[in-house]
């Protein structure tokens, strides 16, 4: 399949007026994306094992603040195990309708048990049950096996609160490097990079497209 002839034209607003703090800029862009994008909170998450082998998947952000981007997962999953051994990650939000991306990299930390409990309790009951019965990333003989386990757990927890599994929690990716990308005509895209300094401030740089 040849794809060379497939191309889109970009025409975005200037990003020169981005705030000095990248998490504020990220919140503003996400607010705009929530109005026009189908899955605005989805981002690609890249992790690595101790041998440097990379893995990438799409997850959903559940918070953006001064700490960085927070998401939740099963700690026994591939990404959870990789983050425990190599607590660094990279991610990218891509919002095609606005021709925008935000790339970010940084160290990862686990959220507190209180934060994980609060978010887990906010999930729909069936989603809580699914998290409790899934051995994420483990091999499965057949999908029907998981369905049966889920249906049994639904019956067992009918009308009852579902406790958060101890291995289920959240991770926050620190905003150590954050790049805002805005598509522009003639491929003269605008890119601004924020790099966190030792004093907590950010160095801001324009990058060539």
User: Which residues fall in the annotated binding site for substrate?
Assistant: 7-10, 62, 119, 123, 127, 187-189
Among the listed residues 67, 177, 187, 204, the single catalytic one is 187
> Of 80, 60, 78, 79, which is closest to residue 70 (Cα–Cα)?
60
Cα separation, 155 vs 96, whole angstroms: 42
Cα 91 to the center of its chain, rounded Å = 6
Backbone angles phi, psi at 61, to 5 degrees: -75, 140
Is-contact 72 164, C-beta < 8 A?
no
Is-contact 209 190, C-beta < 8 A?
yes
Q: Which residues are annotated as a binding site for FMN?
A: 57-62, 72-73, 79, 101, 136-137, 181, 191
> Of 192, 18, 174, 205, which is closest to residue 106 (Cα–Cα)?
174
Catalytic status, residue 196? no
Helices vs strands, H then E, count in the chain: 5, 10
Give catalytic residues, as residue numbers: 187
């Amino acid at each position: 399949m040849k794809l060379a002839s497939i191309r889109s034209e970009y025409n975005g607003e200037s990003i020169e007026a981005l705030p000095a703090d990248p998490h504020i800029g990220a919140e503003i862009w996400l607010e705009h994306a929530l109005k026009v994008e189908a899955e605005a909170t989805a981002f690609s998450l890249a992790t690595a094992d101790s041998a440097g082998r990379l893995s990438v998947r799409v997850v959903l952000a559940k918070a953006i603040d001064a700490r960085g981007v927070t998401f939740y997962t099963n700690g026994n999953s591939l990404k959870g195990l990789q983050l425990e051994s190599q607590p660094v990650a990279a991610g990218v939000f891509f919002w095609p309708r606005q021709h925008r991306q935000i790339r970010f990299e940084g160290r990862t930390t686990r959220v507190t048990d209180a934060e994980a409990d609060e978010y887990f309790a906010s999930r729909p009951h069936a989603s809580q049950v699914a998290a409790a019965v899934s051995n994420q990333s483990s091999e499965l003989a057949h999908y029907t096996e998981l369905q049966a386990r889920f249906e049994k757990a639904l019956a067992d927890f009918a009308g009852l609160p579902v406790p958060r599994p101890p291995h289920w929690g959240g991770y926050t990716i620190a905003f150590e490097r954050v790049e805002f990308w805005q598509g522009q005509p003639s491929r003269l895209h605008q890119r601004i990079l924020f790099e966190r300094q030792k004093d907590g401030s950010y160095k801001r740089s324009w990058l060539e497209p």
